[in-house]
């Protein structure tokens, strides 16, 4: 069964304290892996799409990487405004059209 | 561009009532989706559409219906509301299947 697991569930950081969020996936052939940011009371906002193992993408303090079994979202020197829930999602090559979302990691960055 | 808009923002329904959640996008996207998000859980796909007149079931379609008569609109219909349908509903759209999905602000539904 296709599955996406994110860890940790919640992460508390001090401003400037770098860390990583993990997204482990099990799918029968990966079409693409997506990272979204979701602020409280709002819809998810797109961050990155990764298609193949070894691929990396960066945006400001965020960097996403992909292996054959997991993806990491690295946050360098975070600021309080980076506080949000980060969602990971995958699309599989089989089983019809379906995007599977993980439960998310809630990030809190304290000034 | 307004992007993806959803109405209403919040609604309380009694068990057995029906309602339609509205979703409109102004980006001329072919693909549109309905998700529900329960506390502490990931988004679950309810229905999706690949173009006007074409819809298909997602992961959790029971208790819902959709239609897509225009490119812009993708309403979600709840028939005979049940407490299990208490959730936050998000509509999204994308140009293609692997393209970025743009989400609306969500509709919070409470069924009592």
Interface test with A, best of B2, B24, B91, B101 (most A CBs within 10 A): B101
Listed residue (A59, A88, A52) closest to A72, CA to CA: A88
Q: Which of A49, A45, A44, A26 is nearest to A95 (CA)?
A: A26
Assign B37 to helix, strand or coil.
strand
Mean pLDDT score of chain A: 93
Residues 6 or more apart whose Cβ sits within 8 Å of residue B99: B31
Q: What's the pLDDT at B66?
A: 97
Check CB contact of B39 with chain A, cutoff 8 Å: no
Is the pLDDT score of B64 beyond 90? yes
pLDDT tens digits, one per residue of B94-110: 998 778 899 999 999 99
Is A35 exposed, middle or buried (CB count within 10 Å of its CB: 0-12, 13-18, 19+)?
buried
Residue of A nearest to B108 (CA): A41
Residues of A in Cβ contact (< 8 Å) with B44: 101
What distance in Å separates the CA atoms of residue A80 and residue A96, rounded to the nearest whole number?
39
Q: Which structure tokens are listed for A33?
A: 């892996």
Instruction: Look up tokens 């999706």; give the residue.
Output: B48
Write out the two tokens for B37: 């998000």
Closest Cβ–Cβ partner in B97, B100, B105 for A43: B105
| A4: nearest CB among B42, B50, B106 | B42
Query: Which residues of chain A lie closer than 8 angstroms to B58, CB-CB?
Result: 98
Decide if B98 and A32 are in contact by the 8 Å CB cutoff.
Answer: yes
| CA distance to partner chain A, nearest, from residue B111 (Å) | 19
pLDDT digit string, tens, across residues B19-58 = 999 999 999 999 999 999 998 888 999 999 999 999 999 8
Q: Which of B99, B81, B86, B93 is nearest to B18 (CA)?
A: B81
**Chain segment A63-108, per-residue pLDDT in tens:** 999 999 999 999 999 999 999 999 999 988 776 667 889 999 999 9
* DSSP-derived secondary structure for B65-107: EE--SSSSB--EEE-S--GGG-EEEEEEEESSTTSPPEE---E
CB contact under 8 Å between B106 and A99, yes or no, is: no
Q: Can you tell me the mean pLDDT for A26-55?
A: 93
Q: Mean pLDDT for chain B?
A: 94
Bridge partners (DSSP) of residue A12 are A108
3-state class of A10 per DSSP? strand
């Amino acid at each position: 069964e296709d599955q996406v697991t994110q860890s940790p569930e919640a992460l508390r950081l001090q401003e400037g304290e770098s860390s990583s969020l993990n997204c482990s996936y099990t799918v029968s052939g990966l079409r693409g892996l997506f990272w979204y940011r979701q602020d409280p009371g709002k819809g998810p906002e797109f961050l990155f799409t990764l298609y193949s193992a070894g691929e990396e993408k960066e945006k400001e303090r965020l960097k996403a990487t992909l292996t054959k079994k997991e993806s990491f979202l690295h946050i360098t020197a975070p600021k309080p405004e980076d506080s949000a829930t980060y969602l990971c999602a995958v699309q599989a090559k089989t089983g019809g059209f379906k995007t599977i979302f993980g439960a998310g990691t809630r990030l809190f960055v304290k000034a | 561009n307004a992007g993806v808009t959803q109405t209403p923002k919040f609604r309380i329904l009694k068990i057995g009532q029906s309602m339609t959640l509205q979703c409109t996008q102004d980006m001329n996207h072919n693909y549109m989706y309905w998700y529900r998000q329960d506390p502490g859980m990931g988004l679950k796909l309810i229905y999706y559409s690949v173009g006007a007149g074409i819809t298909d079931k997602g992961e959790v379609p029971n208790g819902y219906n959709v239609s897509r008569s225009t490119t812009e609109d993708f309403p979600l219909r709840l028939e005979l509301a049940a407490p299990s349908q208490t959730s936050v509903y998000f509509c999204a759209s994308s140009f293609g299947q692997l393209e970025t999905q743009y989400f609306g602000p969500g509709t919070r539904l409470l069924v009592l």
